Amino acid sequence: MKRLFAGVALAALASVTAGAASAEGYKIGISNTVQGNGWREEMVCAMKAQALASGKVESLNIAHRNTDAAGQLEDIRNLIQAGVDAIVVNPANADGINAAIKEATDAGIVVVAVDQAVTEPSAYILSNDQTGYAYLGAKWLFEQMGGKGAVVYMRGAAGAGADNDRDVGFKKALAEFPDITVAQEVFTGWQQDQGKQQMLDILASGIPFQGVWTSGIDNVIVDAFLESKAPLVPIVGADNAGFVGQLSSVPGLVGAAVTNPGSVGGAGVELAIQILDGKKPESQTVLVTPDLWDNVSEEGKAKLAAAANPNLDPNWPVSVSIPGWTTYTMDQIIACKGPGE
Domains of the chain by start residue, with CATH = 2-128+261-289+319-335 (3.40.50.2300), 130-258 (3.40.50.2300)
Q: Cβ contacts of residue 80 below 8 Å, gap of 6+?
A: 87, 100, 103, 104, 107, 109
In this model, does residue 22 exceed pLDDT 90?
Answer: no
**Positive or negative torsion for Cα 13, 307, 230, 146:** positive
For residues 244 and 257, give the distance between their C-alpha atoms in angstroms, rounded to a whole number. Answer: 7
The percent of residues in the chain predicted with pLDDT above 90, rounded, is 81
In this model, does residue 12 exceed pLDDT 60?
Answer: no
Cα 72 to Cα 90, 100, 123, 172, 307: the distances in Å are 10, 9, 16, 31, 34
In this model, does residue 257 exceed pLDDT 90?
Answer: yes
Q: Cβ contacts of residue 119 below 8 Å, gap of 6+?
A: 94, 95, 98
Q: What is the mean pLDDT of residues 279-301?
A: 92
b/e per residue 188-212 (b: at least 16 CB within 10 A)? bbbbbebbbebbbebbeeeeebbbb
What are the backbone angles phi and psi of residue 216, rounded to the nearest 5°?
85, 0
- Mapped onto helix, strand or coil, the DSSP state of residue 303 is helix
What's the length of the chain? Answer: 341
For position 24, what pLDDT does the model report?
58
Q: Do 154 and 243 meet the contact criterion of CB atoms below 8 Å apart? A: no
Q: Do 82 and 29 meet the contact criterion of CB atoms below 8 Å apart? A: yes
- Mapped onto helix, strand or coil, the DSSP state of residue 53 is helix
Burial (CB count <10 Å: 0-12, 13-18, 19+), residue 107? exposed
The percent of residues in the chain predicted with pLDDT above 70, rounded, is 93
For residues 85 and 276, give the distance between their C-alpha atoms in angstroms, rounded to a whole number. Answer: 8
Per residue in 85-94, pLDDT tens? 999 999 998 8
Q: Which H or E element spans position 185?
A: strand 180-187
For position 23, what pLDDT does the model report?
42
In this model, does residue 5 exceed pLDDT 60?
Answer: no
Angle at 270 between CA 42 and CA 100, to 5 degrees: 85
Q: What is the mean pLDDT of residues 305-330?
A: 90
For residues 136 and 316, give the distance between their C-alpha atoms in angstroms, rounded to a whole number. Answer: 21
Q: Do 300 and 159 meet the contact criterion of CB atoms below 8 Å apart? A: no
- Mapped onto helix, strand or coil, the DSSP state of residue 99 is helix
Q: How far apart are the first and last CA of the chain?
A: 36
In this model, does residue 37 exceed pLDDT 90?
Answer: no
For position 14, what pLDDT does the model report?
37
Per-residue pLDDT band at 10 (split at 50, 70, 90): very low
What are the backbone angles phi and psi of residue 60, rounded to the nearest 5°?
-115, 135
25 or 9: which leads in pLDDT: 25
For residues 341 and 335, give the distance between their C-alpha atoms in angstroms, rounded to a whole number. Answer: 10
Per residue in 261-277, pLDDT tens? 999 999 999 999 999 99
Mean pLDDT of the chain: 91
Q: Cβ contacts of residue 24 below 8 Å, gap of 6+?
A: 55, 56, 58
For position 172, what pLDDT does the model report?
98
In this model, does residue 314 exceed pLDDT 80?
Answer: yes
In this model, does residue 8 exceed pLDDT 60?
Answer: no
How large is the angle between the packed helices 192-205 and 219-228, nearest 10 degrees? 40
User: H helices of the chain, where?
Assistant: 38-54, 69-81, 98-106, 130-144, 161-175, 192-205, 219-228, 241-249, 264-276, 298-307, 330-335
Per residue in 117-167, pLDDT tens? 899 999 999 988 999 999 999 999 999 999 999 999 999 999 888 999 999
Q: What is the mean pLDDT of residues 191-219?
A: 96
Query: Lowest-pLDDT range, 13-17, 99-103, 174-178, 277-281?
Result: 13-17
- Closest CA relative to residue 78, chosen from 96, 50, 103, 42: 103
